[in-house]
Amino acid sequence: MEPAQDSIAAATIILDQTVGMYRTAALAVAARAGVADHLDRPRTVVELAERTGVNAAALRRVLRMLASQDIFREDDQGLYHLTPAAEFLRSGASRSLRDAVIMFSEDYMWRSASHLTAAVETGSSSFEQLYSKPFFEWLGANPDAASTFHASMVQLSETGIERIIDTYDFPATGTVVDVGGGRGALLREILEKNQHLNGVLQDDRSALREHVLDTPQTADRWRLEEGSFFESVPVGGNVYVLKHIIHNWGDEQSTAILRNCRSAMKDDARVLIIDPVLPEPGNPHFGWALDLVMLSTLTGKERTRQEFEAILNDAGLRISNIFPVQTLGEYSIIEAVAA
């Protein structure tokens, strides 16, 4: 490639990344309008605009951009079709991501991301600088935002659950404690696929009152325990699961959670952290972008194996194995045992 062409290609990368926010914005438009829900058959943009209550000319500009990304497809007759990616924007679809797309496009997320410079300058969450409260405290005072957030967490949690369960060899008997497990979708699947295991779901009251554990396959094998994992976790478990928990918190807070697990667990029990494990620098990975979400919004971070080892060792635990999960977002199961 000629030097001039090299320069153009490099500049194109920068410009493409610069306008990336508009791809995200367009995706949010489609999710909020519920476009995918109306594509039970191919439809024109005029039909879609009438059904969603938006301007047809403006919607076409959004949809043709999304079609260039294989999100929807426009045929020669101007009809729009669902694609495999667009299926995840349907509100009633199995493993839908519509709520997650909407949550990431909420004003508080946009503002936090747009003030990332403030987080880099100070080392503290730009969200807290903007809203004068930690993220989860602010959510507690804003029920509408909390409802959207928790709905999105359910969708993100449920996506790839089967792969997680298939990846890890749970014990034949004993008790699985889902620490901060929300509504319990992961624990429900674990219990349904392991008929001789019992389960405990720990979280706050708002999450537990919407739990999904009560199914015929799990009858009499689970209980709820309200509480904060910063204070304690249920005692006597054989497996402690922390899915999307540790990455929300800084090292000191994460170590405190893990110490509580170590205090509660049997000596031969295991702790499972389900989070991204960052690769060597320069390698593409979903976790790099998620790390900036943590930086701008929360006090947590994504970690390398070495960083996980440090907080686990401080909590009296050690890594016994890491199982990559071939699922959405390149997560891993970090298995830890008593040191």
Residues known to be catalytic: 247
Q: Report whether 232 contacts 219 (CB < 8 A).
A: no
Q: How far apart are CA 55 and CA 57, in angstroms?
A: 6
Q: Report whether 125 contacts 298 (CB < 8 A).
A: yes
Residues present in the chain in total: 339
In the DSSP assignment, the letter for residue 303 is B
Question: For the CA atoms of 75, 80, 86, 89, what is the dihedral angle to 10 degrees?
Answer: 170
Q: How far apart are CA 104 and CA 293, in angstroms?
A: 10
> CA separation (Å) from 333 to 127, 275, 279?
29, 7, 14
Question: For the CA atoms of 326, 20, 71, 293, what is the dihedral angle to 10 degrees?
Answer: 40
Strand partners, 226: 203
> CA separation (Å) from 247 to 64, 119, 130, 274?
36, 17, 22, 9
Q: What residues contact residue 101 under an 8 Å CB cut-off, 6+ apart?
A: 27, 28, 31, 89
**How many CB atoms sit inside 10 A of residue 92's CB?**
8
